[in-house]
Amino acid sequence: MNSIRLEVKTCNQKYPIFIGNGIINKLSKLLKSNSINFNQCLVVADNKVPKNLIKKALKLLPKKQTTTHYFNASEINKNHKSIDKIISILLKKNFNRNDCLIAIGGGITGDVSGFAASVFKRGIKFVNIPTTLLSQVDSSIGGKTGINTKYGKNLIGSFYQPSLVISDINFLKTLPNRELICGYGEILKHALIADKKFFTFLDRNGSKILNLKSPYIEKSIYRSCSIKKKVVESDEKETSLRKTLNFGHSFAHAYEAALGYSKKLNHGEAVILGIKTASKFSVLNKLLKISEFGLIENHLNKLNLPNNINNFFTNNDLNKIMYFMQKDKKNNSKKKINLVLLNKIGHPLYNSQFKEKKISLFLKKELIK
């Protein structure tokens, strides 16, 4: 039950991230030791998390002060209606700004809960207990919250840092392999944009990580969080360096939206597809050496990770994909699309703009292979 502690320091807030096996059992102690006091707390719990694990957490909170709201987490439910339900509970129970909202679930639950916490009375305390590999290495760090609209993914949201993050590896043991692959996509992204040595570690130990073997899984989560922490601390509001965290995401978000956020493709799988697409586009533009691209492609193939967009889309989907790429929140030009690309493994390029036609022609060739 030994835990690893990371501390994130932004301009607005300082907060710890705890990583370890069974550390949910320390919930009460961690709240107290980090000065998170409240008269009331609302626990927003993902329906997909095993009830016995949620009950274990709830037992460590004061019964009279705790309200539980079960949330059916999905991209389709990541919307204003879900926010309204949470805020209605907070209003009905007369929560004040010294009270607390605790999220137990994956990235969607954390995003929705964090956004509700950020807008309720202009902000109440927020504790995130991420239960998926994806949320433990990505969405639980950095303070991005948001919801989807019919125009695209995460177009409405806020930057709102949590007061505490608790990442218990025991939650991961309940996940299907597909969910672990989903989180691995973000771990791989962090290695590709920041640390070639970490990429080499993943290349040697990827199957052990996906099988949750210790100490490989702990080291991967810690290193991945460390990379994101460093980026967020230097650029909290995504004006420069933080844009590199979007590597593969301009494509990924469009892929998800083009499929209507269906179960056919989850976020992490879309990110892996986006990583492959962005890397290949980097080669096409003579930014990335083909030998470096080969290392990435071989890694994806070795672990049998999804990496061919023509397994999910046909040319009939091209206009839809391009529509959502044009709507991406990272764009600042009507005629060009912003992409994060690679110069080499560990060295990303951001603020690269390309004409829609060039991207469309590239994707068209990829779709007919």
Exactly one of 190, 243, 249, 299 is catalytic; which is it?
249
Is residue 289 part of the annotated active site? The answer reads no
Exactly one of 189, 267, 280, 329 is catalytic; which is it?
267
Is residue 81 part of the annotated active site? The answer reads no
Is residue 80 part of the annotated active site? The answer reads no
The Cα 154–Cα 44 span in angstroms is 19
Exactly one of 92, 122, 334, 369 is catalytic; which is it?
122
Which residue type does 114 have?
Answer: G
Is residue 347 part of the annotated active site? The answer reads no
Give burial (CB, 10 Å; 0-12/13-18/19+) of 116: buried
Is residue 97 part of the annotated active site? The answer reads no
The runs of H, that is alpha helices, within 127-176 are 133-134
The Cα 341–Cα 349 span in angstroms is 5
Exactly one of 75, 218, 236, 238 is catalytic; which is it?
238
Is residue 122 part of the annotated active site? The answer reads yes
Exactly one of 153, 253, 299, 329 is catalytic; which is it?
253
| % helix, strand, coil for the chain, step of 5 | 50, 20, 30
Exactly one of 26, 189, 228, 243 is catalytic; which is it?
228
Q: Which token pair is 339?
A: 């992409």
Is residue 9 part of the annotated active site? The answer reads no
Is residue 334 part of the annotated active site? The answer reads no
Exactly one of 223, 242, 280, 329 is catalytic; which is it?
242
Exactly one of 48, 144, 280, 299 is catalytic; which is it?
144
Nearest partner of 116 among 79, 66, 155, 73, judged by Cα: 79
Contact between 166 and 34 under an 8 Å Cβ cutoff? The reply is no
Exactly one of 128, 148, 246, 307 is catalytic; which is it?
246
**Helices 267-284 & 290-302 angle (0-180, nearest 10):** 160
The Cα 53–Cα 271 span in angstroms is 28
Is residue 144 part of the annotated active site? The answer reads yes
Cα dihedral 101/106/112/113 (nearest 10):
0
Exactly one of 26, 148, 153, 186 is catalytic; which is it?
186
DSSP state, 136?
I
SS3 for 330-352 is CCCCCCEEEEEEEEECCEEEEEE
Within the chain, what is the greatest distance between any pair of CA atoms?
A: 62
Is residue 69 part of the annotated active site? The answer reads no
Indicate which residues carry an active-site annotation. 122, 144, 186, 228, 238, 242, 246, 249, 253, 267
